[in-house]
Structure 1
Amino acid sequence: MITFISYIVVFGIIVFFHELGHFALAKLHKIRVFEFALGFGPKLFSKKIGETDYGIRAFPLGGFVKMDEDTVSEDPRSFLNAPAWKRLTVLFAGPIMNFVLAILVFTIVMWGIGFPVNAVGELIPDMPAAQSGELMPGDNILEINGVPTPTWNDVTAQIAPNPQLEMKIERDGEILYVQLEAARDPEDTRYVVGIRPLTRSNASGAFVMAVQQTWMMSREVVSFLAALPAGGQEGVEIVGPVGMAGMVGEAARGGIYNLLALTGLFSINLGIFNLLPLPALDGGRIFFILVELILRKKIDKEKEGMVHLAGFALLMALMLFVLYKDILRLFQ
């Protein structure tokens, strides 16, 4: 039950934020919005305010914004009759809200559990740093081998490939240089010195770390998608609804912070996936608008609508295939 409820909540929030972006920009540009709904399926509740019907549907898996994106209309306030720049901002707003959600949940996580900074928190016994006596808890690591290390990720990135290290540190306001010889990690090929980071917890620092985390994860998702035509990345598989439900359930059992972190990751994935220039996705619609701007003439909307319809059918077929692979993995 916890898996089911968590799955509904996580993807409900992710899709809701996405659609809220489209809705807010459409309203800002005075584009006509017929309906803004939470969930899908039969209506449980609806109330018309102005020209927009606000409703709650039976299946709480996200939501949708109903505009006339694919039908030709004489209405000057229809989506298709809006200037290209307004349509672009409406389409971009959905994925952007997915990144906003990711930053928000990562900020909550890092503010709640703390985040590592570029300072020594603990020396591990019988490891190079402790044996040398050169480092002390509280030392700020400013540079390693001449490379600035403003974050803990930078510290570990500089230690990992280098057996010989010169660290520029700050201790009680004094700048010092220490020499360390790293040891090879027995579990892989990285070098380590045996230090754990100092952790801090404040809103501003958590926000900065959340932005960095969102950027780093976005790059990893883009790299994964870019590798798909060549067969994908080794050891990384695409998971469908069943696989994602399992991940959500496992995260939920690990605590609220684990679930929030996974929500951020899934939100980033949805945002980037929707920006792909494929029919029926936001990226596909953006592509057609950019072609309009380049050619300086309107594309036949009925033909474009047929392309998006065909693209939607292909996406559904792909989802069914991924679901099939998900189910096969359950029995392996």
Structure 2
Amino acid sequence: MNTVIAFIIIFGALVFFHELGHLMLAKRAGILCREFAIGFGPKVFSFKKNETVYTIRLLPIGGFVRMAGEDPEVIEVKPGYNIGIHLDNQGKVNKIILNNKDKHPNAKIIEVEQADLEHDMFITGYEEGNDEQLQRFEVSERAFFVVDEQETQIAPFSRQFASKTLTQRTLAIAAGPAMNFVLAFFIFLTIGILQGTFINEPILGELTKDGSALEAGLKQGDIVTSIEGTSVDSWNDVVEIIQKNPDHEINFSIVRDGQTMQIPVTPDIREIEGKSIGIIGVYKPMEKSFVAAIKNGFVETYLWTKEILVGLGKLVTGQFSIDMLSGPVGIYDMTDEVAQSGIYYLMRWAAILSINLGIVNLLPIPALDGGRLLFFAVEAVRGKPIDRHKEGMVHFIGFALLMLLMLVVTWNDIQRFFL
């Protein structure tokens, strides 16, 4: 149960901050954001605030921000339609009722002659009972369609995604992956503040309960000055000498409470990649410093970004196979293992997953943010956007292939999980 909770929290946080990046920059550009969703499929929970409906959906495989104009508007008003309209205090239409007009006795009923609800924002038509005089009604930019008593805000072209500058659209799309890197940085920063950051000093950190260091009498905080007569100036020096002496007694010269002491220690043997090395069961020393924590946040984010990019490079060159990829089942299984190691390991795992999500979404693959950014780059070069229908078809095919890849990866995860 703890693993399920941890997985839901981590997944939810990663998707939430990713989509929050899209939402913030889209709203800042003036784009009407109809929905902010965590997950896909049927709605489990929803509420509306201002113009946006916030939802949690059943299938935990991502999320989305539905921006006006990204998809064709599903509600239209065409000539010949009989509609009801409500007017605001300025005489502008603020509600357009498409059915169940009998439930709105105060609405004007008109037969539409012409309507422009994107650019000039007007409706002309004949009011019921007066079919000789054509009337024109100005439509408010914040008007709503009412269908089956459900309100949907009209999206003038000025509030649609396509109306914004190339820079605004690029920022709105790139902000999602960027937020994943920001989230990772703040997780690493928080770990550094709460747990401390590693330092490369010849000081003993926390000792394991079953290590030879504790058995020999070493203590956390001991300052190592030399080992077997060899002076040490850093933690890396200490580790190097220990690893070179598996199962051989070595003499530690340490300073404890201002006094110099000599303590013999026999490193245990550990096999790593067919090679025997010595270990004594001591963690690297740590210090608590806000400045060090900030530095650690940047360094960890950079190093893990580099590591993941190297891994992707190996996947492209064939050094990794698709069988080595993990989907939701594999990530859940790994989360279970990490959760057993403690909260800080779980936090670090969440940060790594966040970086991974940010990088994957930046790949120039249709249906991903990187694919959309690639289309923007082409638009910048050719000076005009690619046909929306053609771009939409490419993204649809890309999404279908991604879903197929996810099914294959998930099947591999299930096989590894049960076999």
* TM-score interval (norm. to shorter): 0.7 to 0.9
2:14–2:354 Cα contact (<8 Å) kept: yes
Give the equivalent residue in structure 1 for 2:104: none
The C-alpha deviation readout for 1:42-82, integer Å capped at 9, x for no partner, is: 43544433322233445676642111464367412211221
Q: Give the TM-score, by structure 1 length.
A: 0.78
Out of 132, 136, 145, the residue aligned to residue 229 of structure 2 is 132
Distance of aligned partners of 1:222 and 1:9 in 2 relative to their CA distance in 1, 3 Å threshold: same
Give the equivalent residue in structure 2 for 1:94: 176
- Once the two structures are superposed, the pairs formed by residues 50-61 of structure 1 within 5 Å of their partners are 50-58=50-58
What secondary structure does 2:386 align onto? coil
Structure 1, unmatched stretches of 5+, are 142-151, 164-182
Distance of aligned partners of 1:62 and 1:313 in 2 relative to their CA distance in 1, 3 Å threshold: closer
Number of matched pairs: 294
Distance of aligned partners of 1:289 and 1:72 in 2 relative to their CA distance in 1, 3 Å threshold: farther
Distance of aligned partners of 1:272 and 1:327 in 2 relative to their CA distance in 1, 3 Å threshold: same
Partner Cα separation in structure 2 for residue 329 and residue 197 of structure 1: 34
Out of 104, 109, 113, the residue aligned to residue 195 of structure 2 is 113
1:20 Cα deviation from its structure 2 partner: 0.3
Distance of aligned partners of 1:36 and 1:196 in 2 relative to their CA distance in 1, 3 Å threshold: closer
The C-alpha deviation readout for 1:224-283, integer Å capped at 9, x for no partner, is: 11111222349x921111111011112222221111111001101100000000000000
The one-letter amino acid paired with 1:105 is I
Distance of aligned partners of 1:261 and 1:104 in 2 relative to their CA distance in 1, 3 Å threshold: same
Give the equivalent residue in structure 2 for 1:79: 161
Partner Cα separation in structure 2 for residue 204 and residue 220 of structure 1: 24
- Once the two structures are superposed, the pairs formed by residues 197-236 of structure 1 within 5 Å of their partners are 197-233=284-320
Structure 2, unmatched stretches of 5+, are 74-117, 119-156, 206-212, 219-223, 245-266
2:68–2:159 Cα contact (<8 Å) kept: no
1:17–1:101 Cα contact (<8 Å) kept: yes
Partner Cα separation in structure 1 for residue 33 and residue 178 of structure 2: 20
Give the equivalent residue in structure 2 for 1:329: 416
The C-alpha deviation readout for 1:77-100, integer Å capped at 9, x for no partner, is: 211221111111111100010011
1:47–1:53 Cα contact (<8 Å) kept: yes
1:36–1:53 Cα contact (<8 Å) kept: yes
The one-letter amino acid paired with 1:131 is E
Partner Cα separation in structure 2 for residue 297 and residue 128 of structure 1: 67
What secondary structure does 1:31 align onto? coil
2:15–2:38 Cα contact (<8 Å) kept: no
What secondary structure does 1:34 align onto? strand
Moved more, 289-298 or 200-209: 200-209
- Does residue 268 (structure 1) correspond to residue 355 (structure 2)? The answer is yes
The one-letter amino acid paired with 2:360 is F
The one-letter amino acid paired with 1:53 is V
The one-letter amino acid paired with 1:28 is R
- Once the two structures are superposed, the pairs formed by residues 1-332 of structure 1 within 5 Å of their partners are 1-58=1-58, 63-68=63-68, 70-71=70-71, 74=118, 75-122=157-204, 129-132=226-229, 134-135=231-232, 141=234, 155=236, 187=271, 197-233=284-320, 237-332=324-419
Partner Cα separation in structure 1 for residue 278 and residue 340 of structure 2: 32
Partner Cα separation in structure 1 for residue 328 and residue 10 of structure 2: 12
- Measured on the aligned residues, the alpha-carbon RMSD in Å equals 3.4
Distance of aligned partners of 1:282 and 1:190 in 2 relative to their CA distance in 1, 3 Å threshold: farther
Partner Cα separation in structure 2 for residue 69 and residue 118 of structure 1: 54
2:185–2:298 Cα contact (<8 Å) kept: yes
Distance of aligned partners of 1:313 and 1:117 in 2 relative to their CA distance in 1, 3 Å threshold: same
The one-letter amino acid paired with 2:334 is M
Partner Cα separation in structure 2 for residue 325 and residue 90 of structure 1: 35
1:128 Cα deviation from its structure 2 partner: 10
